[in-house]
Amino acid sequence: NLSGRLATVVKTLRGHARLTEDNIKDAMREVRMALLEADVALPVVKTFIDHVRQRAIGEEVMGSLTPGQAVIGVVHDELKKLMGEQNDALNLAAVPPAIVLMAGLQGAGKTTTTGKLAKRLKEEQRKKVMVVSCDVYRPAAIEQLKTLAGQIGVEWFASDPSQAPVDIAVAALDYAKRHFFDVLIVDTAGRLAIDEAMMAEIKALHARLNPIETLFVVDAMQGQDAVNTAKAFNETLPLTGVILTKMDGDARGGAALSVRHVTGKPIKFIGVGEKVGGLEPFHPERMASRILGMGDVLSLIEDVQKTVDVEEAQKLAKKMKAGKGFDLEDFKMQIQQMKRMGGMGALMDKLPGQLSQMAQGIEGAGADKAVARIEGIINSMTPEERRKPELLKASRKRRIAAGAGVSVQEVNRLLNQFEQMQKMMKQFSGKGMFKLLKGMRG
Ligand code: GDP
Ligand code: MG
């Protein structure tokens, strides 16, 4: 995997006080292999490696005391850049109703995501939302959206499957206008593969509706195939954004890089579960860390441990903090990463004290189940609650417990664990990092 490969890069470069063209070449080969393994498309990898190489032969890496880490830093930074630096929010600045058109292949997750988006807009932005399905080919698809809408409590427009998709959309728009809806989300039919009829249909819908957002929904598990699909849709429609679904599976994240690169359009959200709550804003920084894996953080720590250079440690600490506090969203990501890295057992000896204790706590409870429960609990929180856990008073905890199907005690236990982890992360800042590392050296 990518983090494993990169650990090798660091190890190889570690011995060299100075980088030479030769060992940079070796390192770049490893990075290249790693990206291909993570499902990043070849042309994207090429461009990426070029950028990293340019910087690797520059002062920033060459002048570093620890060139291996510096290379990793550059890789992380370039990954982030490739994915767009920061989150792009949904644009609803239109004369109401703001129209959101969903496009993508069959099975990509359009209908599910339509429901998820409707829920977010309703609950977080207090929007009056209506959804409509233009999938006249599969009556079950229209029913699926109806069920979702009922679950979320948003208006569902009853499509007449004997009408053409454009006529359904126009009727829905007309209704939404007359009833003062803020947002109309238009779900469409996809095919299993790109075909002209589908493209003509989505193009016609776009021309007639003139949506403020045209979102391309793509399954992250599709890996390389996602690139061709993205290209075709991007050439047919003026896309405004991308939603990557099924990021909760073992998708390797490469699709995020490729799709962004190929379309040049921002990834706005990621789908992280089948339930209506499973949609999160996309954060390039987090995705870069995810692609790199937690392993690099661990190997960075190991390296700093050996280098024991206060200045370097502090620089690193700053980078890790990146001006942001450690919140429940990060916590969830760490947990997911641990899961991806093959369970807690393998990791436990490497972790510093408090974290190791926490991992043992989870391990004791049956690692996989416990991790799923933790994810469930965090998924049941609103993004604001994840950012500010101090908001979580009794009534909110009850709501979260009910949503996740666990007891309030379990929510409390999770919050305790999070607090411990947060404390640990705080030690990473400033001199605390140095102290922590000294502690680790025993
Ligand atoms: P559509 O054909 O594009 O409308 O796709 P659907 O919305 O019907 O989704 C196809 C399948 O993917 C369904 O079984 C969904 O539950 C599932 N699905 C959609 N989004 C996600 C996601 O983010 N994570 C997971 N695990 N499953 C998803
Ligand atoms: Mg559908």
260-295 tens-digit pLDDT: 988 999 999 999 999 999 999 998 877 777 676 544
pLDDT for the residue 397: 93
User: Are 239 and 361 contained in the same domain?
Assistant: no
Residue 256 has pLDDT above 70, yes or no: yes
Q: Are strands 267-271 and 279-281 parallel, antiparallel or unpaired?
A: antiparallel
Cis, peptide link before residue 97, omega less than 30° from 0: yes
Is the shortest distance between the CB of 104 and ligand 1 below 6 Å? yes
User: Are 38 and 134 contained in the same domain?
Assistant: no
Is the shortest distance between the CB of 274 and ligand 1 below 6 Å? yes
| Structure confidence at residue 254 as a pLDDT band (50, 70, 90) | confident
pLDDT for the residue 3: 57
352-377 tens-digit pLDDT: 444 444 545 544 445 566 677 888 89
Residues 6+ apart with CB under 8 A from 325: 422
| Structure confidence at residue 74 as a pLDDT band (50, 70, 90) | confident
Mean pLDDT, residues 8-27 taken together: 67
The verdict on residue 339 lying in a domain is yes
Total-model pTM: 0.67
pLDDT > 90: what percent of the chain? 38
Determine the atom of ligand 1 nearest the C-alpha atom of 114: 7
105 known member of a binding site: yes
The total of structural domains in the chain comes to 3
User: Are 127 and 169 contained in the same domain?
Assistant: yes
Å from CA of 111 to ligand 2 middle: 4
Characterize 2-20 residue by residue with b for buried, 16 or more Cβ atoms within 10 angstroms of its Cβ, and e for exposed.
bbebbbbbbeebbeeeebe
Residue nearest ligand 1's atom 16 by CA = 274
CB 96 within 8 A of CB 178: no
Residues 6+ apart with CB under 8 A from 416: none
Residue 348 has pLDDT above 80, yes or no: no
DSSP secondary structure code for residue 162 in this structure:
T
CB 166 within 8 A of CB 205: yes
Determine the atom of ligand 1 nearest the C-alpha atom of 273: 24
Determine the atom of ligand 1 nearest the C-alpha atom of 104: 3
Rounded distance between C-alpha atoms, residue 327 and residue 135, angstroms = 40
Rounded distance between C-alpha atoms, residue 238 and residue 236, angstroms = 7
Is the shortest distance between the CB of 277 and ligand 1 below 6 Å? no
CA angle, residues 154, 159, 160, in degrees to nearest 5: 160
User: Are 6 and 77 contained in the same domain?
Assistant: yes
110 known member of a binding site: yes
Average pLDDT, whole number, for the chain?
79
pLDDT for the residue 258: 86
105 alpha carbon, closest ligand: 1
Is the shortest distance between the CB of 143 and ligand 1 below 6 Å? no
pLDDT for the residue 303: 42
Is the shortest distance between the CB of 115 and ligand 1 below 6 Å? no
User: Are 155 and 194 contained in the same domain?
Assistant: yes
Q: Is the ipTM of this complex over 0.95?
A: yes
User: Are 105 and 250 contained in the same domain?
Assistant: yes
Crossing angle of helices 394-404 and 367-379, rounded to 10°: 120
pLDDT for the residue 304: 39
The verdict on residue 53 lying in a domain is yes
The CATH code of the domain that includes 395 is 1.10.260.30
Determine which of 111-125, 304-318, 401-415 has the lowest per-residue pLDDT on average.
Answer: 304-318
Task: Look at residues 287, 305, 340 and tell me which one is the last residue of a structural domain.
Answer: 287
The verdict on residue 89 lying in a domain is no
**Residue type for 378, please?**
I
CB atoms within 10 A of CB 204: 14
Q: Which has more pLDDT, 136 or 351?
A: 136
Structure tokens at 162: 């004997």
Mean pLDDT, residues 23-40 taken together: 78
**What's the chain's length in residues?**
442
User: Are 337 and 435 contained in the same domain?
Assistant: yes
pLDDT for the residue 319: 46
Is the shortest distance between the CB of 190 and ligand 1 below 6 Å? yes
pLDDT for the residue 285: 79
CB 273 within 8 A of CB 248: yes
Q: Which has more pLDDT, 139 or 142?
A: 142
- Domain of 337, in residue numbers: 294-442
User: Are 298 and 262 contained in the same domain?
Assistant: no
Residue nearest ligand 1's atom 27 by CA = 274
Task: Look at residues 58, 82, 106 and tell me which one is the last residue of a structural domain.
Answer: 82
Å from CA of 431 to ligand 1 middle: 46
Q: In whole angstroms, how far apart are CA 19 and each of 56, 60, 73, 351?
A: 9, 12, 15, 30
The verdict on residue 88 lying in a domain is no
Residue 31 has pLDDT above 50, yes or no: yes
CB 145 within 8 A of CB 188: no
The CATH code of the domain that includes 269 is 3.40.50.300
